[in-house]
Amino acid sequence: MKRLLKGGRVVDPVNGIDGVQDVLIDGDRIARVGRDLPADGAEIVELRPELVVCPGFIDMHVHLREPGQEHKETVATGAAAAVAGGFTAVACMPNTSPVNDNANVTAYILGKAAEAGLARVYPIGAVSRGSKGELMADIAELRQAGCVAITDDGRPVSTALLLRRAMEYAGMFGMPVIEHCEDPSLKGDAVAHEGYQAAALGLRGMPGACEALGVERGVLLSELTGSAFHVAHMSARASLRAVRKGKEAGIAVTCEVAPHHFTLTDEALAAPVAYDTNTKMNPPLREAADRDAMLAGIADGTVDVIATDHAPHHYDEKQVEFDRAPFGIIGLETAVSLSLDRLVHAGRIRLPRLVELLSVNPARILRLPGGTLAAGAPADLTVLAPELKVRVEAAAMRSRSKNTPFDGWELRGGVAATIVGGRTLYVNSAVAGLKL
């Protein structure tokens, strides 16, 4: 079955396209992109010119919680949240229970993803068995089973030696090591960013240097091993500096920033709701200078990827004292609106750069199909409605958990539709006249 999307603005940076063009989908593949393509028997879908057709967005950092913590999220509910948030694919972290450190767990996750039939799910395997930081996991087996990267996310790889060996070993398959950068001794039992807000609220703080030490370590080892090193959820300005210097030196380092880290600062811990546990995540919301550095890094190209670190937690788990609450917030269903509002409409970047951050670069780093509308590529498309007025409603989200600090926020820009493998899996009813 063929479908011809006509009249939308196509933004496909890999192929240098930014303009009103038609996209011809043949089955689960892109057949052609060009001006005024002939219908040639295809079903015609008329798009209004303010809608933007992009290669499908990929969130390379989500926690789907299955197996083991299905009360927070499942592969199916997470994949549903993904398509509702404009993501055609997600890469899920291995800190499930049991940890995804062997082919059985990987296969289980992939089976659940196939059953759900929504966003594509790419598992990420553990660096070490049980993510305990002692012995390497069976990395080749994980790779064969379908893992696209390795990480001990939730914690840093325990020692420089293990990180070095993991990089060397995973480098054999061209798999990046993704690192939760943090010096554990400097973190201690901190629950917030070390600064005025933590001091005023009486919360134990971790400084930006705690993260940057981990970044520096990884950059040095990437230089030593020649293997790809990816910094997860970067938040501190000193980390950005380390990544920038590494890139200038030609080291294979990449990094991602989460929407909450380019949107919020640690002031959110004090107001509007003091000690709101939905402002507690690791790395923590940092001070304005750090947030501004993330925005600058996104604008100047140092930051490669926007990833959500989607971390669902049950209401009960968050309805506790701040220092006892788990770290993390959900992000799949707010990332695109926050990015459009805070980055594009704020004039910091233009749409092609946004597509690089959300689609092209994650596909490149994880070596995934996608990130392009070239003929033969998977028909994974994210259609944006950049002018749509969006009101964030946690209760209406597809994710099983509702732990977001953005509930009630009004943002400019949203998702119009999400197409995965040629199938339309999400259509936003708030976008007028959209028939997909």
Partner 1 sequence: MSAPVTTAVDEARAATALRRKDLLGIADLAPDEIALVLDTAEAMKEVGERPIKKVPALRGKTVVNLFFEPSTRTRTSFEIAEKRLSADTLNIAVASSSVVKGETLADTALNLEAMHPDTIVLRHSSSGACHLLSRICRSAIINAGDGMHEHPTQALLDAFTIRERKKRLAGLKVAIVGDLLHSRVLRSNIHLLTKMGSDVWVCGPPTLIPADIARFGVRATSRIDEAVADADVIMLLRVQLERMEGAFFPSLREYFNVFGMTEARLRLAHPDVIIMHPGPMNRGVEIASEVADGPYSVILEQVANGVAVRMAVLYLLSGGAGDEAAA
For residue 175, give the 3-state DSSP assignment.
coil
What is residue 190's DSSP assignment?
-
Residue 207 engages partner 1 in binding (rule: CB under 8 A)? yes
Closest distance to partner 1 from the beta carbon of 322 (Å): 5
240-299 binders of partner 1 (CB under 8 A): 273-275
Interface segment toward partner 1; rule CB under 8 A; list 11-19, 40-48, 65-73, 191-199 = 191-199
Residue 200 engages partner 1 in binding (rule: CB under 8 A)? yes
Residue 198 engages partner 1 in binding (rule: CB under 8 A)? yes
342-371 binders of partner 1 (CB under 8 A): none
Rg (CA), the chain: 21
CA distance 154 to 232: 10
Q: In terms of CB distance, is 209 or 220 closer to partner 1?
A: 209
Closest distance to partner 1 from the beta carbon of 234 (Å): 21
For residue 128, which phi and psi values (nearest 5 degrees)? -120, 155
Q: How far is CA 376 from the centre of its chain?
A: 25
Residue 218 engages partner 1 in binding (rule: CB under 8 A)? no
276 and 269 in contact (C-beta within 8 Å)?
A: yes
CB atoms within 10 A of CB 138: 16
Closest distance to partner 1 from the beta carbon of 190 (Å): 11
The string of DSSP codes covering 223-285 is HHH---EEE-S---HHHHHHHHHHHHTT--EEEEE-HHHHH--GGGGTSSSTT-GGG--SSPP
For residue 195, give the 3-state DSSP assignment.
coil
Interface segment toward partner 1; rule CB under 8 A; list 112-120, 196-204, 210-218, 297-305 = 196-204
- Which has the closest alpha carbon to 95: 49, 34, 157? 157
Return the bridge partners of 177, or none: 150, 229
- 152, 153, 304, 309: which one is catalytic? 309
Residue 196 engages partner 1 in binding (rule: CB under 8 A)? yes
Residue 201 engages partner 1 in binding (rule: CB under 8 A)? yes
Closest distance to partner 1 from the beta carbon of 206 (Å): 11
SS (H, E, C) 68-108: CCCCCCCHHHHHHHHHHCCEEEEEECCCCCCCCCCHHHHHH
Q: In terms of CB distance, is 230 or 291 closer to partner 1?
A: 291
Residue 210 engages partner 1 in binding (rule: CB under 8 A)? no
Q: In terms of CB distance, is 194 or 356 closer to partner 1?
A: 194
Closest distance to partner 1 from the beta carbon of 194 (Å): 5
CA distances from 156 to 107, 305, 348, 382 (A): 25, 20, 31, 33
Pick one of 114, 134, 159, 204: the residue that binds partner 1 (CB under 8 A): 204
Q: In terms of CB distance, is 254 or 277 closer to partner 1?
A: 277
Interface segment toward partner 1; rule CB under 8 A; list 4-12, 144-152, 194-202, 420-428 = 194-202
Q: In terms of CB distance, is 44 or 200 closer to partner 1?
A: 200
Q: Is 12 a catalytic residue?
A: no
Four-point Cα dihedral 33, 34, 35, 41, nearest 10: -60
Closest distance to partner 1 from the beta carbon of 207 (Å): 8
Residue reference for tokens 């039939």: 117
Q: In terms of CB distance, is 275 or 409 closer to partner 1?
A: 275
110-114 long-range CB contacts below 8 Å, 24 or more apart?
A: 110/145, 110/146, 112/66, 112/74, 112/75, 112/76, 113/75, 113/79
Number of residues that bind partner 1 (CB under 8 A): 23
CA distances from 138 to 14, 110, 241, 268 (A): 34, 18, 33, 41
Interface segment toward partner 1; rule CB under 8 A; list 44-52, 77-85, 137-145, 314-322 = 314-322
Q: In terms of CB distance, is 51 or 281 closer to partner 1?
A: 281
Closest distance to partner 1 from the beta carbon of 287 (Å): 9
Residue 184 engages partner 1 in binding (rule: CB under 8 A)? no
Residue reference for tokens 């070596």: 367
Pick one of 250, 321, 347, 395: the residue that binds partner 1 (CB under 8 A): 321
Q: In terms of CB distance, is 172 or 196 closer to partner 1?
A: 196
What is the contact surface with partner 1 in residues (CB under 8 A)? 188, 194-196, 198-205, 207, 273-275, 316, 319-324
Q: Which residues are catalytic?
A: 309
